[in-house]
Amino acid sequence: MEPHRKIIHIDMDAFYASVEQRDHPELRGKPVIVGGPPNSRGVVATCSYEARQFGIHSAMASSRAYRLCPRAIFVRPRMEVYRQVSGQIRAIFRQYTDLIEPLSLDEAFLDITRTERQPNSATWLAREILQRIHQQTGLTASAGVSYNKFLAKVASDCHKPAGLTVITPDQAADFIAQLPIRRFFGVGKVTEKKMHRLGITCGADLLTYQEHELVRLFGKQGRFFYHIARGIDDRPVIAHRQRKSIGNETTLGEDIRDRDQMLTILSALAEKIEARMAHAQTAAHTLTLKIKFADFQQITLSFTNASPLQSAADMMTIATTLLHDSAAGERAVRLLGLTLSNLVGQDTGNTDGQLSLPFGTPATGIDTAQSSHHPHEVYA
């Protein structure tokens, strides 16, 4: 029997699109699409509820969205703003618990088992969190409250927007029995098709299968399906450690002295870091170049930029300067590394959740005049 937990899942409503409607009142009440423009190969990141009525949804080609609703208004994502809002809502979550597991910028699990002020107050806490989010950001979120992650997440989706849905242990069996199979955690399009072929369309159908049958059909996931069909999901809410940096390094096949060759290698590293930054939806202020010379002596050179860095091109502008400031070339090099730190949108220790960084400035362009540090060399 799993210990009785209280889990809240919070998810912002039409997140990027709602931020755009908040900041541009002329977009309110209109079909708004955040993503690539319609005449491009771009896709829809998300769209307003008005646009969803036309069948438009996330990950759809922008060209198709345009055909579905030619009067839809397309806007480019403003990631810095979304990250800032994300910081604000996480600061609100922290007022309730340390056990916060963000799933993306707009979504998180909170384990409030220890926070609960009195029995059955989880619902009150969830309502309070939604109210604070609305007061402080001007945006709405939806919440699901239950005794495990699976049910809390499904619940938050039940009454969007601005919905609060509670699933008590008593209600769980009936709730899961009627739940369409695609709403089960981990069921994508492929699994859904396979389930339908087996005649499994909802939770009740899943209950008719033995654990070993589901394992035979779906591998390890089968065991998970068996348990969640019975309302059992012991996965803990895991508070993510704040990521401090994103970096990459490579030991060269042979020692090199040619700086152009070094820059080519650094470019490849920068590209990889750019992809990871995009995946983590973050940007960073400090770039560190690490050089290990052929004699194994290692140095790092850092530069802190006033505006956040995200692109490989920005990283390379700085890395090139740092490399030229070093003895690389005069001395043979055996390892090169790049790391971005001072990440934006991470926990900065501010209790008010406001990021201490200037937002609204584009993340491109190197702003050396305002940089707070001069490059410095640290000998390891």
Report the C-alpha gap between 101 and 245 in whole angstroms: 19
Two tokens at 203? 């939770």
Cβ distance to ligand TTP smaller for residue 100 or 269? 100
Give the contact letters, 96-115, x = binds to Mg ion (CB under 5 A), - = no: ----------x---------
- Based on the shown chain and the rule CB under 6 A, indicate whether residue 331 belongs to the binding site for ligand TTP: no
- Based on the shown chain and the rule CB under 6 A, indicate whether residue 107 belongs to the binding site for ligand TTP: yes
Least Cβ distance, residue 18 to ligand TTP (angstroms): 8
Judged by beta carbon distances under 5 to 8 A according to partner kind, the member of ligand TTP, Mg ion, none in contact with residue 264 is: none
User: Which range touches ligand TTP (CB under 6 A), out of 6-14, 23-31, 188-196, 349-357?
Assistant: 6-14
Cβ neighbours of residue 122 under 8 Å, at least 6 residues apart?
6, 8, 112, 116, 145, 166
Give the contact letters, 9-38, x = binds to Mg ion (CB under 5 A), - = no: --xx--x-----------------------
Report the C-alpha gap between 64 and 104 in whole angstroms: 26
Question: Which of the residues 145 through 204 are near ligand TTP (CB under 6 A)?
Answer: 160
Two tokens at 66? 């345009």
User: Which range touches ligand TTP (CB under 6 A), out of 63-71, 99-107, 145-153, 181-189?
Assistant: 99-107
Lateral strand order in the sheet of 44-47: 44-47, 32-35, 73-75
User: Which range touches ligand TTP (CB under 6 A), out of 63-71, 102-110, 203-211, 298-306?
Assistant: 102-110
Per the annotation, the verdict on 254 as an active-site residue is no
Report the C-alpha gap between 324 and 27 in whole angstroms: 48
Report the C-alpha gap between 221 and 207 in whole angstroms: 15
User: Which range touches ligand TTP (CB under 6 A), out of 9-17, 64-72, 119-127, 218-226?
Assistant: 9-17
Reduce the secondary structure of 39-104 to three states and give it as a string: CCCCEEEEECHHHHCCCCCCCCEHHHHHHHCCCCEEECCCHHHHHHHHHHHHHHHHCCCCCEEEEE
> Residue 340 pairs with which residues in a beta bridge?
246, 287
State which of residues 20, 32, 33, 46 lies at the interface with ligand TTP (CB under 6 A).
Answer: 46
Classify each residue of 26-38 as buried b or exposed e, where b means 16 or more C-beta atoms within 10 Å of its C-beta: ebeeebbbbbbeb
Report the C-alpha gap between 241 and 101 in whole angstroms: 9
Tell me the residue number closest to Mg ion, measured at CB: 11
Least Cβ distance, residue 11 to ligand TTP (angstroms): 5
Judged by beta carbon distances under 5 to 8 A according to partner kind, the member of ligand TTP, Mg ion, none in contact with residue 160 is: ligand TTP
CB 281 within 8 A of CB 254: no
Judged by beta carbon distances under 5 to 8 A according to partner kind, the member of Mg ion, ligand TTP, none in contact with residue 116 is: none
Least Cβ distance, residue 12 to Mg ion (angstroms): 5
Least Cβ distance, residue 11 to Mg ion (angstroms): 4
State which of residues 22, 58, 68, 348 lies at the interface with ligand TTP (CB under 6 A).
Answer: 58
**Could you tell me the CA-to-CA distances from 178 to 161, 203, 205, 363 in Å, in that order?**
22, 6, 9, 47
Binding residues (CB under 6 A) for ligand TTP: these are 11-16, 45-46, 58-59, 104, 106-107, 160
Catalytic site residues?
A: 107
Binding residues (CB under 5 A) for Mg ion: these are 11-12, 15, 106
